Amino acid sequence: MPELPEVETVRRGLLPVMEGQRIAKADIRRPDLRWPFPENMAARLTDKTVTALRRRSKYILADLDSGETLIIHLGMSGRMLISGQTVGEFHHPHPVPEKHDHVVLDMEGGSRVTFNDARRFGAMDLADTARLEDHWLIAPIGPEPLGNTFNEAYLAKRLHGRNTPIKSALLDQRIVAGLGNIYVCEVLHRAKISPRRKAGNLSAKRAGALVPIIRDVLAEAIEAGGSSLRDYRQADGELGYFQHTFRVYDREGSPCVTEGCDGTVRRIVQSGRSSFYCAQCQR
């Protein structure tokens, strides 16, 4: 499932064709994805202008001049793809519609934004913008890891006394928004903390030290366009490149890249998810 860097990369790719632009036509080609679409979704989107395109955790939020916000979740295989753009002297025509093109937004400038989702684990909903923070998908989410409210004191306090493994704690969207399996593995390796370690056993200093590492990993991943492992693509169809710099994720059996460490990357399963780490330098 796309994590914060992938969703942020897609949002940035959509900005030039969506923010400040009117949706000339919304074509909703099925009644649902993971959940049913909201009532009269096509009519509620058509002829509305996108006043802002934001992100909250792993959700893209398109604020409309109607006072509603389109909530978009990519799910396991969802893609937001752009066609019809003119770049310099070159015009990229719209492709032939595909089987899994479920939502198509024709923008007033001639561009088209298509939500394609083969597995249909993605989701879209419409909510009152003024009350968006009360929406059931948004309300439980913790602070953004790149924001000011996510700091050393906050994280140390939230981890204090927790009996769950630190890997599980950092995946808890109520503690910090947007982190997923890939980036938590990478963060813990840089911090030299075992994914098995109980979150409550970390000192306040060591827990707080995770904050700048989390920010660094996410910033580097966003700069690289995210990580492409299976289905993920940027909005222009290009792959992300952060997977080429993984230190531990999906590197089972490979030598640890930490300087001076002669350990090997291991894989264990925690709560049904693969954790990759070096048992020698991560304690």
Respond yes or no: is residue 99 known to be catalytic.
Answer: no
Mapped onto helix, strand or coil, the DSSP state of residue 75 is: coil
Respond yes or no: is residue 58 known to be catalytic.
Answer: yes
Tokens 């693969």 -> residue:
274
Respond yes or no: is residue 2 known to be catalytic.
Answer: yes
Q: Are 72 and 38 in contact (CB under 8 A)?
A: no
Mapped onto helix, strand or coil, the DSSP state of residue 74 is: coil
Which of 235, 89, 211 shows the shortest CA–CA distance to 151? 211
Determine how many CB atoms are found less than 10 A away from the CB of residue 70: 26
Helix 210-223 to helix 181-191 angle (10° resolution) is 130
Mapped onto helix, strand or coil, the DSSP state of residue 119 is: coil
Catalytic residue among 3, 6, 68, 186: 3
Catalytic residue among 55, 56, 58, 158: 58
Respond yes or no: is residue 97 known to be catalytic.
Answer: no
- Cα–Cα–Cα angle for 273, 227, 223, rounded to 5 degrees: 135
Instruction: Give me the active site residues, please.
Output: 2-3, 58, 273
